Amino acid sequence: MASNNLETVLAKVSKEVTPSAKERKEVLSLASSLVEKVREAARNAGVKAKVRVEGSVAKDTWIRGEPDIDIFMQVPQSMLREAFGTICLNIAKEATKGSKQLERFAEHPYLETIVDGTRINIVPCYQSKPGEWKSATDRTPFHTDYVVPRLNQRLREQIRMLKRFMKGIGVYGAEIKVGGFSGYLCELLILQYESLVRVLEAASNFRDLWLIDYEGYYKGREDELPKIFEEPLVVVDPVDKGRNVASAVRKQSLIEFVAASREFLKNPRQEFFYPKQAKPLSKEKLLRVMKNRESTLFFVVFGKVKAVPDVLWGQLYKTQRSLRKMLEQNDFQIMRDSCWSNEKDLNVLVFEVENGKLPKVKKHLGPPISKKAECDNFLRKHIGSKETVSGPYIDNDRWVVEIKRKQNDIVKLLREKLRDGGRQGGVAELISKTIKRAFEVKVNQQAAKLYSSNPQFAVFLSDYLEAKPRWLKKVDGA
Amino acid sequence: MASNNLETVLAKVSKEVTPSAKERKEVLSLASSLVEKVREAARNAGVKAKVRVEGSVAKDTWIRGEPDIDIFMQVPQSMLREAFGTICLNIAKEATKGSKQLERFAEHPYLETIVDGTRINIVPCYQSKPGEWKSATDRTPFHTDYVVPRLNQRLREQIRMLKRFMKGIGVYGAEIKVGGFSGYLCELLILQYESLVRVLEAASNFRDLWLIDYEGYYKGREDELPKIFEEPLVVVDPVDKGRNVASAVRKQSLIEFVAASREFLKNPRQEFFYPKQAKPLSKEKLLRVMKNRESTLFFVVFGKVKAVPDVLWGQLYKTQRSLRKMLEQNDFQIMRDSCWSNEKDLNVLVFEVENGKLPKVKKHLGPPISKKAECDNFLRKHIGSKETVSGPYIDNDRWVVEIKRKQNDIVKLLREKLRDGGRQGGVAELISKTIKRAFEVKVNQQAAKLYSSNPQFAVFLSDYLEAKPRWLKKVDGA
């Protein structure tokens, strides 16, 4: 029955992910015309660029209704790197004149634009030889050339389903925000395992390491791979044996994928691929849920950070980690933390602690009694010191003293640390600039207004409180 | 200068501890007359007992003004053990008729009585051969016979000073309440090291183990001692090589002695031997000190426990340990705990926690993702369970679920656990009987009334809050 069910689900999903003939025709035609326009603009600018379609459109692996057209302009090695952000960007702008344009950059600048409702990325790179890459995107045309001849219709179907699965559980995309699986990585997984189900089976058996070397570059010496690459998932790039295609996959994303694979194989449902839209809690329900936790949930809220999404998310995660560490060093017990951004003018860091207030007195452990000289130093330091509240006394073989805690209120502590931008507390540079101008710390129900006025944030906070992956619905008892 | 100072202090202390000729005469005369009375009473009861003075009076090692007269009646081996509590006790009562009498017992029953302001203990034991002991006190006459011929006036002076040092820092006495050094142990330490200062030097170099084998029973195989005896301080009994004279010394007492020895040698002061009387804080100051800590200090108060002091303290310490463990298992962070008793009708357990209230929600860690079957069981158990508040979600390689905490208020938790006497929470048997009838839990300033109405408790609580050994006064900076 389970396997019947699996087949039914996969058959439905296959239909959903495969572009119609009409869509395919339109996308390919739009891509061709754009290639022509970029070529012409390059010619007009006097740049000898090879212009090609890359990515899922070139490989015919995009998901129905979700095409991204990547157009690469391979420029001569003689061109200066700075020209990517000037000459190349201008060529891209000229070619898509009249459309909405957004300057982006990953490792280097590129142009994102929307034409006829379809997102187009126009990306410069160098004409490099394999192994002699001058910029990170130089490999992309080689990826396309590697994958295309190895695919057939069945494999393309499996790739589309795997990508949709990744999207559905929230681990698709190598961007910093997600830290997940790129399209190319999905393609290599299907080349390796030949079907979605076999990829999921492999994932579901994950323990500590998952090593894939499709071209067999490390054949007979696979045990070297974990020494060369430090990530738990290593997929050796067929066009560059020194590169791990999965290096952007964060441990958390990998493990979400592993867990979702297990659950799907046990209980196959279409919702893994197409999750139901999350409905935020009503404001009343939100307040009740927060109150019932009897924890301290607080929100550091600040405005626009001047950074493209990848940089913004990198800075948000770094700041979240640093502040968490700072709070823990001040003895607050963090239950969970998270962050959210609308990628425009509103950013929120969330921390939940057991108690927002600690005793004013704090136990400070001294040396064990066996260390005579250290004990003596400890006593000289703390006896009669202004900071000493109680002791020193002996507790379990060591000297202990109770000292005054500098700040025992978490909100005050945060305000103090962030007042000057918080660089010393580990706030990342660009976020620090914003925080220096203004920030707010809201505790528990003080977040209600932000919640009611911002539906995206409401979905985020509802998800935070539920804390259950969307694919993990109520399951049958054992 | 330091050594000068040391000599001055020791000279003064020597004077203080040495009984005057008058005191010596009175004590010895009182002892002799009591021996006679016990002999007579035994004769009248038809018991063939050898009656002798033992302990510090027999060895001339008592501290001036603090004599304890121990009179032992060695009875024939044919006498039944039960007779210690009947026939022997009656003999003792008869011999001290007209004085205040208290039935006590250590391993077995004995009589304590006050005659002319001096405490007298009349203790039965068997006439045993060494190594064939029938009761724990059978060794005592052999201890006396071992020590007396090995002493001289100088050694007796050193013993008196060592005992006074132990008393001054609060580690003198093998009774459960103190868990410290017996008089006999002090005598053996002086036999081994020949002077107070050399005992303190040895103590101050303590690391993990301190082994003393004065008779050299284990010569050449000293490394076996830690295997035979599990205590950190081992003093082989010269009259019984299978017994550790220091077995009653608790680790905490040993380490207090070590620490005090170091401090005294560094900074010799008479107060180590004769500490100033502690003055409790005023009630206003007490309340201010407690408030300033911003911790939760609470008191479990209950009445008379039917038990002799050794049993009472054993039960108090056991209950303190069990309740501490129970509170920690319920996630309360115990800063310190303690207990107090007037040994009559009032007992108090003290616990201090960082926060008396925890969140209602509690993180419950599940298996790491590498354990596939356990993960599956964990999910089946917690998804959709009534206890689940949030999750399950993945955090750092493991499944985690947030569940409802049964009781998040420490006072309510304690009241629940103690309501039926608290046997299940680990409350010791006799205390449980008392608690079953009545107990109170007082939090922070609710202890004020107890404090004002009970000077002994006031001293205890003031000491608790200061938490500094009385001998550790303000010392010079390094």
Per-position DSSP letters for B85-147, written without gaps between them: GTHHHHHHHHHTTTSEEEEEESSSEEEEEEETTEEEEEEEEE---TT--SSGGGGHHHHHHHH
Best of A294, A399, A401, A473 to substitute, by most chain B Cβ atoms within 10 angstroms, is A294
Residue range A27-34: mean pLDDT, rounded: 95
Chain B interface includes A395 (CB < 8 A): yes
Closest to A377 (Cβ–Cβ): which among B392, B466, B478? B478
B392 preceded by a cis bond (ω within 30 of 0): yes
Closest to A393 (Cβ–Cβ): which among B375, B395, B469? B469
Best of A206, A210, A463, A468 to substitute, by most chain B Cβ atoms within 10 angstroms, is A468
Residue A48, CA atoms < 13 Å, CB-side half-sphere: 5
For residue B379, list chain A residues with Cβ-Cβ distance below 8 A.
263, 472, 475
Q: φ and ψ at B258, to 5 degrees?
A: -60, -50
pLDDT grade, residue B143 (50/70/90)?
Answer: very high
Put simply, the answer to whether B355 touches A360 (Cβ < 8 Å) is: no
Closest CA to A314 of A289, A291, A347, A356: A347
pLDDT grade, residue B85 (50/70/90)?
Answer: confident
Buried residues in A68-98 as b, exposed as e (16+ CB within 10 A): bbbbbbbbeeebeeebbeebbbebbbebbee
For A:457-476, CB contacts with B below 8 A are 465-469, 472-476
Put simply, the answer to whether B392 touches A478 (Cβ < 8 Å) is: no
Closest to A468 (Cβ–Cβ): which among B204, B292, B391? B391
CA distance B390 to A466: 5
Closest CA to A461 of A280, A229, A261, A321: A280
Per-residue pLDDT tens digits for A391-406: 999 998 999 999 999 9
Vertex A427 angle, CA A423 and A429, to 5°? 75
Closest CA to B236 of B214, B220, B206: B214
Put simply, the answer to whether A359 touches B335 (Cβ < 8 Å) is: yes
CB atoms within 10 A of CB A218: 16
Distance from CA of A378 to the nearest CA of B (A): 10
For residue B361, list chain A residues with Cβ-Cβ distance below 8 A.
292-295, 335
Put simply, the answer to whether B477 touches A380 (Cβ < 8 Å) is: yes
What kind and span of H or E run contains A338?
Answer: strand A334-341
Laid out side by side, the sheet with B296-302 consists of: B334-341, B347-353, B296-302, B440-443
Q: Which is it for strands A240-244 and A440-443: parallel, antiparallel or unpaired? A: unpaired
Chain B interface includes A336 (CB < 8 A): yes
Return the bridge partners of A364, or none.
Answer: A401
CB A18 within 8 A of CB A64: yes
For residue A383, list chain B residues with Cβ-Cβ distance below 8 A.
468, 472-475
Closest CA to B283 of B463, B150, B451, B107: B451
Per-residue pLDDT tens digits for A38-72: 999 999 999 999 999 999 999 999 999 999 999 99
Residue range B418-440: mean pLDDT, rounded: 94
Distance from CA of A388 to the nearest CA of B (A): 10
Amino acid identity, residue B422? G
Which chain A residue shows the shortest CA-CA distance from B391? Answer: A468
Put simply, the answer to whether A255 touches B394 (Cβ < 8 Å) is: yes
Residue A457, CA atoms < 13 Å, CB-side half-sphere: 23
Closest to A475 (Cβ–Cβ): which among B360, B361, B379? B379
Residue range B279-296: mean pLDDT, rounded: 93
Closest CA to B452 of B286, B222, B296: B286
Chain A interface includes B256 (CB < 8 A): yes
Distance from CA of A8 to the nearest CA of B (A): 24
State the greatest distance between any 2 C-alpha atoms of chain A, in Å, as a whole number: 84
Amino acid identity, residue B246? A
Q: Answer whether residue A370 shows pLDDT above 60.
A: yes
Put simply, the answer to whether B263 touches A391 (Cβ < 8 Å) is: no
Chain A interface includes B369 (CB < 8 A): yes
Q: Which is it for strands B68-75 and B100-105: parallel, antiparallel or unpaired? A: unpaired
Laid out side by side, the sheet with A68-75 consists of: A50-54, A68-75, A118-126, A109-115, A100-105
- Please tell me the predicted confidence (pLDDT) of residue B101: 86
* Proportion of chain B above pLDDT 70, given as a percent: 97
Per-residue pLDDT tens digits for A118-159: 999 999 999 999 888 998 899 999 999 999 999 999 999 999
Chain B interface includes A363 (CB < 8 A): yes
Residue range A210-229: mean pLDDT, rounded: 94
Which chain B residue shows the shortest CA-CA distance from A335? Answer: B363
Which chain A residue shows the shortest CA-CA distance from B353? Answer: A359
Of how many residues is chain B composed?
478
CA distance B17 to A474: 78
Q: Answer whether residue A84 shows pLDDT above 90.
A: no
- Please tell me the predicted confidence (pLDDT) of residue A106: 63
Chain A interface includes B259 (CB < 8 A): yes
What domains are defined for chain B?
20-134 (3.30.460.10), 151-272 (1.10.1410.30), 283-357+408-466 (3.30.70.590), 361-404 (3.30.70)
CA distance B219 to B68: 35
CB B232 within 8 A of CB B225: no
3-state secondary structure (DSSP) of residue A392: strand
- Please tell me the predicted confidence (pLDDT) of residue A1: 44
Best of B257, B333, B353, B363 to substitute, by most chain A Cβ atoms within 10 angstroms, is B333
What kind and span of H or E run contains A3?
Answer: helix A2-17
Burial (CB < 10 A; 0-12, 13-18, 19+), residue A438, is exposed
Lowest mean pLDDT among A2-11, A362-371, B308-317: A2-11
Which chain A residue shows the shortest CA-CA distance from B465? Answer: A390
Put simply, the answer to whether A469 touches B208 (Cβ < 8 Å) is: no
CB A418 within 8 A of CB A427: yes
Q: What is the CA radius of gyration of chain B?
A: 27
Q: Answer whether residue B106 shows pLDDT above 70.
A: no
User: How is residue A450 written in tokens?
Assistant: 């932000």
Put simply, the answer to whether A467 touches B391 (Cβ < 8 Å) is: yes
CA distance A169 to A254: 11
Put simply, the answer to whether A359 touches B207 (Cβ < 8 Å) is: no
**ipTM given for this complex:** 0.89
Closest CA to A121 of A200, A56, A198, A43: A56
Please give the mean pLDDT across all residues of chain B: 93
Which chain B residue shows the shortest CA-CA distance from A254? Answer: B397
CB atoms within 10 A of CB A152: 8
Q: Answer whether residue B2 shows pLDDT above 90.
A: no
Closest to B293 (Cβ–Cβ): which among A292, A355, A360? A360
Pairwise pLDDT comparison (A418 vs B84), residue with the higher score: A418
Which chain B residue shows the shortest CA-CA distance from A259? Answer: B369
Best of A233, A251, A293, A466 to substitute, by most chain B Cβ atoms within 10 angstroms, is A293
CB B124 within 8 A of CB B73: yes
Best of B208, B330, B390 to substitute, by most chain A Cβ atoms within 10 angstroms, is B390
CA distance A51 to A109: 17
Quickly count helices (H) and strands (E) in chain B. Answer: 17, 15
Chain B interface includes A386 (CB < 8 A): no
Residue range B215-234: mean pLDDT, rounded: 94
User: How is residue B367 written in tokens?
Assistant: 């298996």
Distance from CA of A66 to the nearest CA of B (A): 29
Closest CA to B141 of B152, B156, B130: B130
Lowest mean pLDDT among A291-295, A473-477, B171-175, B397-401: A473-477
Distance from CA of B354 to the nearest CA of A (A): 6
For residue B389, list chain A residues with Cβ-Cβ distance below 8 A.
292-293
Residue range B5-16: mean pLDDT, rounded: 95
- Please tell me the predicted confidence (pLDDT) of residue B36: 96
For A:268-297, CB contacts with B below 8 A are 292-295
For residue A206, list chain B residues with Cβ-Cβ distance below 8 A.
369-370
Q: Answer whether residue B110 shows pLDDT above 90.
A: no
- Number of A:B CB contacts under 8 A? 156
- Please tell me the predicted confidence (pLDDT) of residue A3: 54
For residue B465, list chain A residues with Cβ-Cβ distance below 8 A.
390
Put simply, the answer to whether B208 touches A372 (Cβ < 8 Å) is: no
CB A37 within 8 A of CB A95: yes
Put simply, the answer to whether B397 touches A251 (Cβ < 8 Å) is: yes
Closest to A393 (Cβ–Cβ): which among B360, B468, B476? B468
Residue range B221-229: mean pLDDT, rounded: 92
For tokens 């080349």, name the residue.
A191
Q: Answer whether residue A2 shows pLDDT above 60.
A: no
Per-residue pLDDT tens digits for B316-344: 999 999 999 999 999 999 999 999 999 99
**Phi/psi-derived region of residue A265, left when phi > 0, alpha when psi is between -120 and 50, beta in every other case:** alpha
For A:163-182, CB contacts with B below 8 A are none
A137: CB partners within 8 A, 6+ apart: A72, A106, A107, A108, A123, A124, A125
Q: Answer whether residue B146 shows pLDDT above 60.
A: yes
